[in-house]
Structure 1
């Protein structure tokens, strides 16, 4: 059974269509990444799928429950971690978890809290005020509260924003452990290394789902070509390449340039010209998920900007 199976979802706020005909599915036990620029509709789509918002159009099921008729049942089976830390800062970690346990009617609450503290490595800090925690420990508390009622689906909305690399890695280790135990996870993120840790990714831009698949599939489907130019004059070459046909992206990395384009013949002609003119090395490179992300962003139209400008 698919954990999420939704078709043609539409959600509007006034005259703005925030989710525009989105169809996607997520297998049970899968970690599915949700990528896209700010304001692209990721959070709204997540809120529709966890039963917090009712779609204006579309249909589907989440955990086997109807998206429209069974919103309360969906909510009870979902853990939803928001972008913003939303716990009482003047309560301890343990007190916050007791509060959440009572909200869910978990009994005995003390056993659920004890087991959750232990699972997330929070036992030694259980008496700390949550408002005094670092970003990484706040994130761990938020995750603990989301999984305490043993949900079948975990929805994470940019969960590692503002968290240091070590805490991010530890967080993702926890997510993979949960998925290995059968929990389904959908996570929105801007970090490409995090997206690459997902089993599948979905790219949404301004309400429209543009692509879905494994990282390898999405990179291949984008049809981009990449060349690496390296040498001391690479930065000078960048200025020349900005005006060359076939060059869609130029990204400097130290003394090298990452040059990307869809038209391989035009791109190769441009980089070979730069290589000769500036006496720098030119060789084929590997297209990355970030290259694909940037390409989609540059070719997508911001529906909010269009509305503000009076467009349709």
Structure 2
């Protein structure tokens, strides 16, 4: 095991009713790195995160989290990890300060008032300390949840879709804080559906149907996918693009058809098949076709298209 790795696991597997919801996942993440954990709903992200923080016991696999054995030292791992769930998990009928004080008591933290005050200051919550959690907007609830995660000074943050339903400014502020934490040496694994957030991560891991399908930096993942991409724009009525979507999705060799603003990207691994697919539409009036570079969304949609469904 590499001592510079905050997460170092292999063969991670979890089954329910005989079906593998996480299937032979290997994941390594260096200290102080931010890893974006991406995948569609039901892909196994939350189950993986819960195994990493000691809340679930893997059915198979081994490894270490913060240098501790994933199975044998689950209790010790819990005390060194900050886990932020998809849904707000604090008490809505308590104030911000009362919630943080409650969490500090659970961790049996010394100098509890000071630790709570520091958390309030760090996340900009001090002026709202007496406000009931249930009256907070999504962005402020997110700050409170992150403050609670940081109270016990964890070395690893596991954040499960922390910005879902939060406005763009709150998302940007949240990510600025995540980068500050990483600069202090805290390792972050964060699941997200937002491509702009994925681009702010040092590295990415993409999971679908329980299988880890891609791993690396944004540039590495795009290069490894080897996609041929064409973009088409409507020079007149934008509705003319809508008529292309279903025929192109059904064409042999096409793995991804996605709209980006006023353009539609058509992508596949076999350049000849992609060109054949768009050939029937190349001469249509009002359409302009150009070669394009693949982006993360092209890659991830194509990966889903190639992955076997573990419900089948």
The two structures share one fold, judged by TM-score above 0.5: yes
Partner of 1:227: 230
Aligned length: 305
Please show how residues 163-182 of structure 1 align to structure 2 within 5 Å. 163-182=166-185
266-275 vs 30-39, greater mean Cα deviation: 266-275
The counterpart of 1:2, out of the listed 2, 5, 8, is 5
Whether the 8 Å CA contact 1:6–1:60 is kept in 2: the answer is: yes
Partner of 1:57: 60
Whether the 8 Å CA contact 2:255–2:305 is kept in 1: the answer is: no
SS of residue in 1 equivalent to 2:109: coil
2-structure distance, mates of 1:252, 1:87: 38
Partner of 2:117: 114
Matched, 1:292 2:299: yes
Question: CA 1:209/1:253 → structure 2, altered by over 3 Å: closer, same or farther?
Answer: closer
Whether the 8 Å CA contact 1:233–1:280 is kept in 2: the answer is: no
User: Gapped runs of 5+ residues in structure 1?
Assistant: 307-312
TM-score by length of 2: 0.93
How many Å apart are 1:68 and its aligned residue?
1.1
Question: CA 1:255/1:215 → structure 2, altered by over 3 Å: closer, same or farther?
Answer: closer
SS of residue in 2 equivalent to 1:172: helix
How many Å apart are 1:190 and its aligned residue?
0.9
TM-score by length of 1: 0.93
User: Residue by residue, what CA displacement relative to the aligned partner does 1:93-127 show, whole Å, maximum 9, x if unpaired?
Assistant: 00100101111111110000001100000000101
Q: CA RMSD in A?
A: 1.7
1-structure distance, mates of 2:11, 2:81: 22
Partner of 2:267: 260
2-structure distance, mates of 1:254, 1:196: 18
SS of residue in 2 equivalent to 1:271: helix
User: Residue by residue, what CA displacement relative to the aligned partner does 1:278-312 show, whole Å, maximum 9, x if unpaired?
Assistant: 253221112111111111122223223x2xxxxxx
SS of residue in 1 equivalent to 2:221: helix
2-structure distance, mates of 1:207, 1:303: 7
Matched, 1:11 2:14: yes
Partner of 1:148: 151
2-structure distance, mates of 1:248, 1:235: 22
Please show how residues 73-222 of structure 1 align to structure 2 within 5 Å. 73-222=76-225
Question: CA 1:253/1:57 → structure 2, altered by over 3 Å: closer, same or farther?
Answer: closer
User: Gapped runs of 5+ residues in structure 2?
Assistant: none
